[in-house]
With several copies, the nearest count.
Chain A
């Protein structure tokens, strides 16, 4: 038995495995495959103040060891969320975190304020890195001044655990991590998708209705791992690592690089019970290597 518990700000997580936003719906969709209470937490779908229809179909293209998506934050808005989804989420025996999105700082702030009041949501993940919307999203996450402004504004109204989700589409991701830390975020999560594109040579057209989209899956793991390693050395707040994790070994690599916790995203499309399999795999690894807790291996490659 190894101790898998980890802490992020004031929150204790049963284990370091969290389902990533936009890849686990509201959790219920995966309940046939695993017991959500065996996970560290789930981060539900990207949510906005107003309902959004998202981008036109086609929104998806398969790529080498990965996929592009251009969903564009389709969701029913916070009113619907509060009334119809929150009551269900409130019953889950795992941390439920909401991924917060906006076109403007005001929208981010208003949404965060509303979520601050929902007692069963102990944390939000501020998404300043969505590449699939014209306004907001990645624009905040790729400009240091805008990032600082939106994080500071949300921090003022949001009193629980604030996680900032960073974009990999930047020259120096540690700059954004330091800004997050400086503005009082309890943690950063990285990476969101890499901006990519696919073309169908036979039709001579882009495969996505939006031309560009977000690349996820194992293809991006080397880049994500590098960024997690860089950020873990640059800030003291916990780093939540993700990007291409397919199994426990991948998750462990992120932890060795310095991640306190990990998120699993695209893999859920291929193996809808991967979340709990990864929890079990991490435990098995620790036992085999004779570590009594996951914290013993966090960032171990940086220790000497």
Chain B
């Protein structure tokens, strides 16, 4: 799968909630094959304090229209500028980058869990899992009711369980407090979200010996494996989260030591 650098055309920008939005970009060259869990490196123009590209997970792919969706949370000047993209503008991407989630085998019970912009890669992953004939379940965590992102598209793929930290909707607490998460016999759990969430999910899965993959969001300069800035300590030494990841099996990560 060749990586490319390409000017895509913004075809949509819709706000999901305070500080979350979805950008759709269209490739006139025709999209390459993109695997769930892969990401793009987006060039942010017109933002004087943004020097490097910004890594963003592929949220969804529509091969019929050659369109990629990106689910973005405003975190600073770079994402703020992206939030103001309007249809017709160009967005230069280097993509597709990184490895991908391992798809389940037929008949496995799989849970996709995440929160905030960590939901980004889960939609496309859920779609691919669903296409492979397996039913994805989703466990999504939010701070409170007002921070809940629209998740219609998730619901169309499988059951969605919600948690909010204050209990204002769904189960009170974190995703790991959702009864379906704790009690059902999952074969695989996929997770993307803030580091504490991923660590909690990983701990739960380890204790129950569930296969668990997480998608890391380490700081990146290149996204191409040439700067070695995005490393994560693993059982096989420091690996680049941009090429050996961003998806890692939690058993390979040395999380106990790094924080």
Chain A positions near chain B (C-beta within 8 angstroms): 22-25, 29-30, 32-33, 53-54, 56-67, 69, 71, 74, 217, 266, 268-273
A63 engages B228 (CB within 8 Å)? no
Give chain B's interface residues, CB within 8 Å of chain A: 2-5, 43, 48-53, 94, 218-233, 237-238, 243, 258
User: Which partner residue on chain A sits nearest B3 by CB separation?
Assistant: A32
A67-B51, A71-B227 as given contacts; A60 in contact with B2, CB under 8 Å: no
User: A60-B219, A67-B221 given as contacts; is B229 within 8 A of A272 (CB)?
Assistant: no
Shortest A198–chain B CB gap in Å is 12
Q: Which 3 A-B pairs have the closest CB atoms?
A: A60-B229, A269-B222, A25-B226
Q: Which residues of A contact B221 (CB under 8 A)?
A: 60, 67, 69, 266, 269
Q: Which residue of A57, A64, A67 contacts B218 across the interface (Cβ within 8 Å)?
A: A57
Question: Considering only CB atoms, which chain B residue lies closest to A25 in the complex?
Answer: B226
* B228 and A272 within 8 A (CB): no
In-complex Cβ contact of B222 among A54, A65, A74, A268 (8 A): A268
Bound Cα distance A55, B220 (Å):
15
Q: How many inter-chain residue pairs (CB < 8 Å) link A and B?
A: 91
CA distance A266 to B218 in the complex (A): 19
- Can you name 7 extra interface pairs (CB under 8 A) apart from A29-B225, A69-B221, A268-B226? A22-B228, A60-B220, A60-B227, A61-B219, A62-B51, A272-B3, A272-B5
Cα distance A61–B219 in the bound complex, in angstroms: 8
Shortest distance from the beta carbon of A113 to any chain B beta carbon, whole Å: 26
Residues of A within 8 A of B222 (CB): 23, 268-269, 272
Q: Which residue of B2, B48, B231 contacts A32 across the interface (Cβ within 8 Å)?
A: B2
Give the docked Cα–Cα distance between A135 and B228 (Å).
Answer: 20
Closest-CB distance, A35 to chain B (whole angstroms): 13
Known contacts A62-B51, A270-B53, A271-B5, A23 near B226 by CB under 8 Å:
yes
Say whether B237 contacts A71, CB under 8 Å: no
Are the CB atoms of B226 and A69 closer together than 8 Å? no
In the complex, A24→B225 CA distance in Å? 9
Q: What A residues does B94 contact at CB under 8 A?
A: 272
The reply to whether A71 and B3 form a contact with Cβ atoms under 8 Å apart is no
Chain A residues contacting B51 (CB-CB under 8 Å) are: 62-67, 217, 270
**A53 touches which of B52, B229, B238, B258 (Cβ 8 Å):** B238
The closest CB in chain A to the CB of B243 belongs to: A29
Docked complex Cα distance between A266 and B53 (Å): 12
Q: Do residues B226 and A32 form an inter-chain contact, with CB atoms below 8 A?
A: no
Residue numbers in A under 8 Å from B237 (CB-CB): 53
Contact A59:B231 (CB < 8 A) given known A54-B238, A67-B52: yes
Q: Point out the residues of chain B lying under 8 angstroms from A29, CB to CB.
A: 224-226, 243
